[in-house]
Amino acid sequence: MPGFKGTLKHFFDRKTFEVHAVTDVSFKITRGEIVGFLGANGAGKTTLLKMMCGLIHPSRGLVDVCGFSPQRRQTAFLKEITLVMGQKQQLIWDLPPMDSFYVNAAVYGLADFEAKERINELADMLEIGEELTRPVRKLSLGQRMKAELLVALLHKPSVLFLDEPTLGLDVNAQARVRSFLSEYNKKTGATILLTSHYMADITALCPRVICIHKGNLFYDGDLDSLANSLSPSREVKVELKNPCSRDQFDKYGEIQDFNDRFISLLVSRDKLTEIISNLLTNFDIIDLEISDPPIDQLIGELFIKGEVN
């Protein structure tokens, strides 16, 4: 209830109710995998991530990360994992990132020389250097995110939980964070679990995706087969040498677009090769292009529909 009356009512009569953020989700991730979590805002991705790092206690069910029960937050477990949240920062705002690095190093019990070595190594990988001695508040968002990644990875964690690590970054900065993560994964064999709203992150990094919708898992598998199951057809664009009539193409697939020399068709995947060869024999074709419908669009539709075909 909005307005002043609503405010008063909310002050005196506060109702609490249980919300099931995540139900019936189970999956297994092996060491070294990069897995992307997909879902609309409020689908339960972050809740899931927080349960896996032990911040939220599941009311029912079992979570096991590297043989630990995360909610107990044992020291040995905490040294294995790290959490990076694109929205929240852990660097000390008024000081250079370098100061925060050494505080964290002390907390994790790293000796100064170890910390220094590690900082240099990660700074090289992230292509950041001189910025680390400037106060955090004077850094750009991209530089800050790199520093956040650095501070989160100081203790050589083997499992990385990344909650929208590229949020708000420009295209180049996003690409650099992505290439860093993939390099880090190859170099150290660390497991990476990430959520992102940018499909580019997911397509570039995650061979495997887990889709969450309204707290339920509805897809777990590789990205390509998700795309296949989401859209059983591919788009075929043809440029003809001579103009043809529209009805000649009806039998090949669903016509998306037509103007006498350019035709765009939706062709089902299993008939694709057959239809292409037919097209090539029956028409005089200058150019031919086969493409997948953009994945973001598919995922977007998926979230609205809420199911996989």
73 part of the interface to another protein, by CB under 8 A: yes
Q: Tell me which residue of 230, 214, 191 sits closest to 82, measured CA to CA.
A: 191
75 part of the interface to another protein, by CB under 8 A: yes
Distance (Å, whole) CA 260 – CA 149: 53
CB 287 within 8 A of CB 238: yes
Identify which of residues 35 and 53 has a Cβ nearer to another protein in the complex.
53
In whole angstroms, the minimum distance from the beta carbon of 53 to another protein comes to 6
In whole angstroms, the minimum distance from the beta carbon of 76 to another protein comes to 8
Which of the ranges 85-93, 117-125, 228-236, 270-278 carries the binding residues for another protein, by CB under 8 A? 85-93
245 part of the interface to another protein, by CB under 8 A: no
Which of the ranges 1-9, 95-103, 172-180, 207-215 carries the binding residues for another protein, by CB under 8 A? 95-103
Identify which of residues 195 and 231 has a Cβ nearer to another protein in the complex.
195
In whole angstroms, the minimum distance from the beta carbon of 155 to another protein comes to 8
Distance (Å, whole) CA 189 – CA 136: 30
Q: What separation, in Å, do the N-terminal and C-terminal C-alpha atoms of the chain show?
A: 39
In whole angstroms, the minimum distance from the beta carbon of 169 to another protein comes to 16
Distance (Å, whole) CA 217 – CA 227: 17
Identify which of residues 46 and 191 has a Cβ nearer to another protein in the complex.
46
Among 9, 10, 31, 57, binds another protein (CB under 8 A): 57
50 part of the interface to another protein, by CB under 8 A: yes
In whole angstroms, the minimum distance from the beta carbon of 13 to another protein comes to 16
In whole angstroms, the minimum distance from the beta carbon of 243 to another protein comes to 54
83 part of the interface to another protein, by CB under 8 A: yes
82 part of the interface to another protein, by CB under 8 A: yes
Identify which of residues 59 and 277 has a Cβ nearer to another protein in the complex.
59
175 part of the interface to another protein, by CB under 8 A: no
Which of the ranges 27-35, 88-96, 210-218, 253-261 carries the binding residues for another protein, by CB under 8 A? 88-96
95 part of the interface to another protein, by CB under 8 A: yes
In whole angstroms, the minimum distance from the beta carbon of 124 to another protein comes to 24
164 part of the interface to another protein, by CB under 8 A: yes
Distance (Å, whole) CA 7 – CA 53: 36
Interaction site with another protein (CB under 8 A):
46, 50, 53-57, 73, 75, 78-79, 81-83, 85-90, 92, 94-95, 99-100, 102-104, 106-109, 135, 163-164
